[in-house]
Amino acid sequence: MNIKLSAQNLNISFGQKQVLKNINVAFAENEITALIGPSGCGKSTLLRSFNRMHDLSPDAKISGNLKLEDLDLYDKTVPVTEIRKRIGMVFQKANPFPKSIYENIAYGLKINNLPHGIDVIEKALREAFLWEEVKNDLKMPATRLSGGQQQRLCIARAVALRPEVILMDEPCSALDPVSTLKIEELIMHLKKKYTITIVTHNMQQAQRIADKTVFLYLGEVKEEGPTSQIFNNPKEEMTMNYIKGSFG
Ligand SMILES: Nc1ncnc2c1ncn2[C@@H]1O[C@H](COP(=O)(O)OP(=O)(O)O)[C@@H](O)[C@H]1O
Ligand SMILES: [Mg+2]
């Protein structure tokens, strides 16, 4: 098992507030890892730290190591664009550009100097299970797609850049159950090629798709392990209470 993405002794503060405390996590290649925990425990902060999204927060203080295999993600000689090409991100609210479906995918390819012909666009849309639904409407504004389609377009946009890792922050929380299941199916398909880390508040979703689960509580990793162990036989009482829905 090859560790693709990892954090060692990671601490993150915003001003006086320490949000992540001595985090040590490792995400394996071709696996799906779910990050769970109550609101405000630092899940998004952790996910965003991997593609340097705190760079623009002047009060963010980060210590420890974040690595993509052996690459130090905070090595100032590595351009952030390179990191974001190798580590894609999908957000809670689908955020297509105000452009056509075609341009949504072509744009990122162009700015990364990658081929952006129709064959490449088709491949990305197929990989995101969207091609059949949009192949006759590639010039249509992406904002006219349904929420679930927009989210799959954002996934297509990420995979078009041939990333190694895809980070997803509650990608289904704004979607209906049918769209959610479609995205879950897509995520399970994508893990054959990518390493996937997903934040979810949906405990059924974590159990359906994740190989490993990490439970965060108040900025610390409380427990982690194979998903079936975390949900069926958690070691910590706090984990048990959270997955049973006692707090959240
Ligand atoms: N850029 C920021 N500046 C200040 N505080 C932040 C920033 N980002 C997150 N926080 C704080 O960090 C804590 C954890 O937030 P977050 O990582 O979004 O939690 P989660 O995703 O688990 O709900 C919250 O108290 C939040 O207000
Ligand atoms: Mg969050």
pLDDT at residue 206 in the model:
97
pLDDT tens-digit profile, the chain (248 residues):
899 999 999 999 999 999 999 999 999 999 999 999 999 999 999 999 999 999 889 999 999 999 999 999 999 899 999 999 999 999 999 999 999 999 999 999 999 999 999 999 999 999 999 999 999 999 999 999 999 999 999 999 999 999 999 999 999 999 999 999 999 999 999 999 999 999 999 999 999 999 999 999 999 999 999 999 999 999 999 999 999 987 76
Set out the domains of the chain in order of their start, with CATH numbers.
3-212 (3.40.50.300)
Query: What stretches of the chain adopt beta strand conformation (E)?
Result: 3-14, 17-28, 32-36, 60-68, 71-72, 87-90, 165-169, 195-199, 212-217, 220-226
The answer to whether the CB of 19 is under 6 A from ligand 1 is: yes
Q: Which residues are placed with Cβ below 5 angstroms of ligand 2, an ion?
A: 44
Which residue in 19, 31, 42, 21 sits closest to 190, CA to CA? 31
Residue whose Cα lies nearest atom 7 of ligand 1: it is 14
pLDDT at residue 184 in the model:
96
pLDDT at residue 1 in the model:
80
**78 in Cβ contact with 233 (< 8 Å):** no
Residue 54 backbone dihedrals phi, psi, to 5 degrees = -95, 0
pLDDT at residue 247 in the model:
75
pLDDT at residue 63 in the model:
97
The answer to whether the CB of 91 is under 6 A from ligand 1 is: no
For the CA of 36, the nearest ligand: 1
For the CA of 41, the nearest ligand: 1
Q: How far is CA 228 from CA 40, 63, 64, 155, 232, in A?
A: 25, 32, 30, 27, 6
pLDDT at residue 14 in the model:
97
Percent helix, percent strand, percent coil in the chain, to nearest 5: 35, 30, 35
pLDDT at residue 56 in the model:
87
The pTM of the full predicted model, rounded to 2 decimals, is 0.95
